[in-house]
Amino acid sequence: MIERTTDLEICRAIRHAVFVTEQSVPEAEEWDGRDGEAIHLLARDASGAAVGTARILVQGATGKIGRVAVLRSARGTGVGAALIRAALAELRALPGLTRAKLGAQTHAIGFYEKLGFAAYGPEYDDAGIPHRDMARDLE
């Protein structure tokens, strides 16, 4: 189950486990001060345990999906794809938005391509991890 949440503590705990602990992203880079302006999504497994999160920021006519994190124990179960589909549904419900974008870790580009995103621009470093920007129309 995916739902909007205001429980930033659980979202931050998932992001800390995935990005800071597993991927060695510096805490100062993970906590960018933008959580307060974002829409947050929380994924729960069948038992109700929180297993994934994503955040959405609106920038003009574009919704930026970011901080997509799924706990190791829930990877490969479809939670990540469900989070992206839920984020796209949230964006489609907001007036005036026409495009979704995200910064994908390069190893995950194929995952996002299956969800309709296309990579553009050069590869870049974000917190020591190679990324590429990706986008798709919301129609």
pLDDT digits over 37-83, tens only?
Answer: 999 999 999 999 999 999 999 999 999 999 999 999 999 999 999 99
Question: Is residue 84 a contact partner of residue 65, using CB atoms and an 8 Å limit?
Answer: yes
pLDDT tops 90 at residue 139: no
Tell me, what's the pLDDT at 104? 95
What number of other Cβ atoms are within 10 A of residue 34's Cβ? 12
Tell me, what's the pLDDT at 50? 97
Question: What's this model's pTM, rounded to 2 decimal places?
Answer: 0.93
Q: What average pLDDT does the structure give for the chain?
A: 95
Cβ burial 63-92 (10 Å sphere, 16+ → b, else e):
bbbbbbbbbeebeeeebbebbbebbbebbe
Tell me, what's the pLDDT at 118? 98
CATH fold for domain 2-99: Aminopeptidase (3.40.630)
Through-space distance between the first and last CA atoms of the chain, rounded to whole angstroms:
24
Angle at 63 between CA 16 and CA 70, to 5 degrees: 30
Q: Where are the domains of the chain?
A: 2-99
Q: What percent of the chain has pLDDT over 70?
A: 100
- The residue written with tokens 């990324």 in the block is 131
